[in-house]
């Protein structure tokens, strides 16, 4: 694989690679490129609150200031920004135009390199990284397990991999699954719309579908209803999130052409088959995110 071009921005040089016969869905890649260029202005509170949810099971032993790290499917670069000061060197890799949104969000930073490529064309030798993560990405790739395997290969022996994959509501009651089935029907239609119309429809759905549940959770929280009760209300995870995040996730949920979901057991088995051990799942939202160590 060779570099197609090097693009010089105000902040860095971005290496862009050819991706022939790659394990990606072109429509999904294009969709995310547009999504992250529309949503890349996260404030510090949004980054800190959301980042803490995903990295709750990551210890200083796994990730620290001596770690060489890669963000696989970095999108807007928000997790790289969240981790600022907690790594020695960071690579942000993404196959879409989102790489340019990441460049804007991250600004000038000599510890961060951005690369436009895909999981089956990661332009680094095996064993190059101490820590790798892919959050909310691999379930949008046709062969999720192959993408996970290709990502794990670039870890050194004993390195750690953090992954978040959409769940099949395997720890939720039947009405969650019914709501998902209905929302998935909407997604199949909305994801085919022209970009501007799709974004408008998803903003509308953020108001009429997301906000009633979220506002109910906010009211119950102020009334002192315990979280273990509110947990059973759909979209309770957003009760402390900004409307900006809610709009972003609505577009992510309804605007994406390809989406797959997995049970906790399926994720564990995939991780084991790709060479990860000592796997730890978080028991907190978002489900499911887990970290494992490379043998």
- State yes or no: pLDDT of 213 exceeds 90: yes
From residue 34, give the alpha-carbon distance in Å to each of 202, 220, 251, 257: 14, 36, 10, 13
- Strand (E) or helix (H) holding 279: strand 276-281
User: Percent of the chain beyond pLDDT 70?
Assistant: 99
How far apart are alpha carbons 195 and 279 in whole angstroms? 39
Mean pLDDT of 22-38: 86
Mean pLDDT of 132-139: 97
- State yes or no: pLDDT of 64 exceeds 60: yes
CA neighbours closer than 13 Å in the CB half-sphere of residue 62: 19
Tell me the torsion sign for CA atoms 150, 165, 77, 127.
negative
CB 90 within 8 A of CB 113: yes
Of 125, 123, 158, 122, residue with least CA distance to 137: 122
User: Among 28-32, 177-181, 189-193, 257-261, which is the least confidently predicted range?
Assistant: 28-32
Question: What average pLDDT is seen over the chain?
Answer: 94
pLDDT attached to residue 2:
64
Mean pLDDT of 189-211: 95
| Residue range 271-284, pLDDT digits in tens | 999 999 999 999 99
| Residue range 159-199, pLDDT digits in tens | 999 999 999 999 999 999 999 999 999 999 999 999 999 99
Mean pLDDT of 116-144: 95
**Domain 3-167+261-294 classified CATH 3.40.50.150?**
yes
pLDDT attached to residue 53:
95
pLDDT attached to residue 177:
94
User: Percent of the chain beyond pLDDT 90?
Assistant: 88
- State yes or no: pLDDT of 1 exceeds 60: no
Per-residue confidence band for 293, with pLDDT thresholds at 50, 70 and 90: very high
How far apart are alpha carbons 146 and 143 in whole angstroms? 5
Mean pLDDT of 139-162: 97
pLDDT attached to residue 80:
97
Per-residue confidence band for 114, with pLDDT thresholds at 50, 70 and 90: very high
**Position with higher pLDDT, 2 vs 293:** 293
- State yes or no: pLDDT of 41 exceeds 80: no
How far apart are alpha carbons 191 and 254 in whole angstroms? 6
Cis geometry, peptide bond prior to residue 286 (ω within 30 degrees of 0): yes
CB 81 within 8 A of CB 42: yes
Domain ranges of the chain: 3-167+261-294, 174-254
pLDDT attached to residue 34:
86
Mean pLDDT of 201-227: 96
DSSP-assigned states of every residue in 60-125: TTTS-TT-EEEEET-TTSHHHHHTTTS-SEEEEEESSTHHHHHHHHH-S-TTEEEEE--GGG--S-
Alpha helices per DSSP H over the chain: 26-38, 44-54, 78-82, 98-106, 144-153, 174-190, 195-205, 211-222, 227-230, 243-254, 264-273
């Amino acid at each position: 694989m060779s570099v197609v071009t090097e693009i010089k921005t105000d902040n860095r040089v971005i290496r862009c690679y050819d991706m022939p016969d790659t394990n990606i869905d072109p429509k999904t890649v294009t969709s995310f490129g547009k999504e992250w260029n529309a949503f890349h202005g996260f404030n510090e509170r949004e980054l800190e609150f959301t980042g803490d949810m995903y990295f709750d099971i990551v210890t200083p032993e796994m990730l620290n200031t001596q770690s060489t790290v890669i963000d696989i499917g970095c999108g807007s670069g928000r997790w790289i920004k969240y981790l600022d000061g907690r790594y020695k060197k960071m690579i942000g890799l993404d196959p879409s135009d989102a790489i340019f949104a990441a460049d804007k969000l991250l600004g000038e930073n000599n510890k961060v390199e951005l690369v436009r490529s895909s999981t089956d064309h990661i332009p680094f030798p095996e064993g190059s990284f101490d820590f790798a993560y892919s959050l909310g990405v691999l379930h949008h790739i046709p062969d999720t397990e192959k993408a996970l395997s290709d990502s794990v290969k670039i870890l050194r022996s004993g390195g750690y991999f953090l992954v978040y994959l959409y769940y099949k509501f395997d720890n939720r009651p039947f009405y969650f699954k019914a709501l998902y089935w209905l929302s998935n029907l909407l997604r199949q239609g909305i994801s085919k719309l022209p970009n501007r119309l799709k974004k408008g429809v998803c903003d509308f759905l953020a108001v009429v579908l997301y906000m009633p549940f979220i506002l109910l959770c906010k009211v119950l929280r102020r009334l002192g209803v315990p979280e273990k009760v509110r947990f059973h209300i759909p979209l309770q995870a957003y009760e402390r999130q900004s409307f900006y995040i809610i709009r972003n996730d609505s577009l992510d949920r309804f605007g994406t052409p390809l989406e797959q979901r997995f049970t906790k057991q399926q994720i564990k088995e995939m991780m084991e088959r790709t060479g990860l051990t000592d796997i730890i799942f978080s028991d907190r939202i978002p489900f499911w995110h887990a970290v494992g160590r490379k043998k």
